[in-house]
Amino acid sequence: MTTTQLALRDRTQSLIGGEPSDANLNRYLHGIPGVDAVGLEQRAAGLGSRSIKTTSKAWALDRIISLIDLTTLEGADTPGKVRSLVAKAMTPDAADMSTPRVAAVCVYGDMVPYAVEALGSAHSAGRDDGINVAAVATAFPSGRASLAVKLSDTSDAVAAGADEIDMVIDRGAFLSGRYGQVFDEIVAVKEACRRADGSFAHLKVILETGELNTYDNIRRASWLAILAGGDFIKTSTGKVAPAATLPVTLSMLEVVRDWHRLTGVKIGVKPAGGIRASKDAIKYLVTVAETVGEEWLTPHLFRFGASSLLNDVLLQRQKMTSGHYSGPDYVTID
């Protein structure tokens, strides 16, 4: 077991009062207060109904762009499509060079080299003004593979230049109560995110909330992912309905808030899948600000996993500048 894995186990042991076994994790996770579903949904609806001023909307649109993981995750992806995606990430609106760049491009692991090459000097390399390359891994989207395959999937993407890894948890193991197995897999994947220089690619843990069935399960899975070393918790793969919803994201943000109060450590949140309109994305910004604070509205702590959202934001942004909407050929088709 590596130093990192031992450190994660030690931290977890101190919090749950023992080894991260199924029994101890079950006792700890089921000891977390249950979710008031009605209250959660009412609060999400209230936050989603907030109106913002025109000046705030202009800021919000730019902030949304800067928080987007521009994504293509299709079996028909090609190097050419990835290069086109990168070009859009670098210059979202060629007619307005004041438009912010997105936070990252998100692709399958075998597409990482093409994304890194296309980004060139725009590749983040840890800079605040750069664009990250995120790779989905661990037999995305199902997670149905051996641990050896999942770790190889992850380490290959990191070796190819991925800055971030979006892994999927084993939902079958989680729903069966095999929390120790889920914990151990996340810890192992975190170790596989280690680069040659000893630093780590950031790990986003996808819960696939649409398959977890209840808010209580989503809360427990969020705690489990953080205990095991996830840097971000992410709602969905985008391949299962329902994907991201405002109540689910609010529930995950509350876990992040409580973790920060408990440990002082900030964890990121990424709603992904189904967020296509600017007006909906703004609701998420409000929810983040009201739940964990505006300091979370940075690419280091909040992302939108999206492909078509950027187009709508660009159209809304152009409307605020010119007073009218552009035609359908104003933005590229993803």
Of the pLDDT bands very low, low, confident and very high (cuts 50, 70, 90), residue 208 is very high
Report whether 256 contacts 287 (CB < 8 A). no
R_g of the chain computed on alpha carbons: 19
Q: Is residue 69 within a helix (H) or strand (E), and if so which, with residue range?
A: strand 68-71
Catalytic residues: 166, 234, 270
pLDDT in tens, 313-333: 999 999 887 766 666 566 665
User: Each residue of 155-191: b (16+ CB within 10 Å) or e?
Assistant: bbbbebbbbbbbbbbbbebbeeebbbbbbbbbbbbbb
Report whether 230 contacts 186 (CB < 8 A). yes
| 22-29 and 215-227 helices, crossing angle to 10° | 130
Domain ranges of the chain: 3-327
pLDDT (0 to 100) of residue 128: 60
pLDDT (0 to 100) of residue 167: 98
Over residues 159-184, the mean pLDDT reads 98
User: Check: CATH 3.20.20.70 for 3-327?
Assistant: yes
Q: Is 17 left (phi over 0), alpha (psi -120 to 50) or beta?
A: left
The angle subtended at Cα 260 by Cα 51 and Cα 172, nearest 5°, is: 90
- Overall pTM surpassing 0.85 (yes/no): yes
- Which residues in 144-290 belong to E strands, given as ranges? 164-168, 202-206, 232-234, 268-270
